[in-house]
Amino acid sequence: MPTPTPLMGLVTGFWSFKTFAAAVELELFTKLAGGRTITVAAAEHELGLPDRPADLLLTACASLGLLERHGDGYRNTDLAEEFLVKGKPYYFGGQVTYCDQRTYLPWHRVGEALRSDRPLTWDPATQESMFDTADPQMLESFWGAMYSTSIFTAKSLAEHVDLGGSKRMLDVGGGSGAYAIELCRARPGFQATVFDLPHVCEIAAGNVAEAGLSDRITTTAGDFLTGDSLPGGYDVVLFSMILHDWDQPTNQKLLNQAYEALLPGGRVVISELLLDADRTGPAPAALMGMNMLIETEGGRNYSDAEYTAWLAAAGFTGIHTVRFDAPGANGAVIGVKKAA
């Protein structure tokens, strides 16, 4: 006989997230970097918390697999040490902070979004899209979150997707430059161009310079939503965590433009959280689709079967899906432009 225990897990899911977000805000895991142990008494002093909240926070973080008991105190687990310490290459705290500050409260009104089919984190009456903003705090928060999610996802893509003898990639909507950086790190001699809005290109250029790859990664400013074509002369066109932001007609237009931009024999790569063809999951893709209801006008997550059909309609052949496990994508759908 079933019990309501799984439902209780769904009901209390926000407890876990807000505990996690509070610990990131307090920089708990960064303070414990390098194997350091903290006791409840020390946490009181270092985190500025009374005894009871300090004890509850450390206990809760241990229950979530973020801390582990060591002697009379707690220390980072391997997961927290790798991804939650500021300054580490794959620091994930930006995503936590963004969701906590930007999307958590709008999600409280998800019923309104379901009824109205309108985003809740920005106003379509005053902005063209969620990306059209001059708010420096929002830009820093959003692109920090995207870099947190993208950098490790890009590493997984580089490990699992064979780009053959490809030499030049156009990263459409390349944002913070994470995919270009990781793919160039993995492929000596590989070159990439991040194609995005002017203010976003500035952010990408900074990350590229910090990675020491300015000689191999460039930026080109443009708007792929309003342009009639994409920059040409590339043998890879990448859409990394991009197409879920837009509706089917927009995506078909972009894939048609990608086909025209590619050299003969070139590849298009779509890296996304892919739905199953029967639309029953997986949960990360389905729930990201719900988040697109909160944050976009027409976005949703799609199945690889849908992407396959759109790629075929654009003229691509050899279409196939490569699966992998990463925070921002669970696979990539790849198509090849016919050779001349």
- Distance CA(74)–CA(59), nearest Å, equals 9
- The single residue of 45, 108, 160, 244 carrying the catalytic annotation is 244
DSSP assignment of 215-236, as one string? TTEEEEE--TTT-SS----EEE
Q: Is the dihedral of CA 60, 29, 330, 176 positive or negative?
A: positive
Q: How far is CA 310 from CA 174, 270, 276, 317, in A?
A: 21, 11, 16, 11
Longest dimension (CA), the chain: 71
The CA-CA-CA angle for residues 127, 131, 132, to 5°, reads 40
282: preceding bond cis by omega (within 30 degrees) = yes
The two tokens of residue 50 are 């009374």
DSSP assignment of 55-83, as one string? HHHHHHHHHTTSEEEETTEEEE-HHHHHH
The CA-CA-CA angle for residues 174, 101, 122, to 5°, reads 65
What is the Rg, in whole angstroms, of the alpha carbon atoms belonging to the chain? Answer: 21
Q: Does an H or E element contain 271, and which?
A: strand 262-272
108: annotated active-site residue: no
Q: Residue 235 is which amino acid?
A: D
- Distance CA(96)–CA(92), nearest Å, equals 7
Other beta carbons within 10 angstroms of residue 229's beta carbon come to 12
Please answer whether residues 314 and 267 qualify as being in contact, where contact means their C-beta atoms are separated by less than 8 angstroms.
Answer: no
- Residues of the chain by 3-state class (helix, strand, coil), percent to 5: 50, 15, 35
Alpha carbon 1 to its chain centroid, in Å, reads: 39
- Tokens 């009181």 correspond to 44
Active site residues per annotation: 244
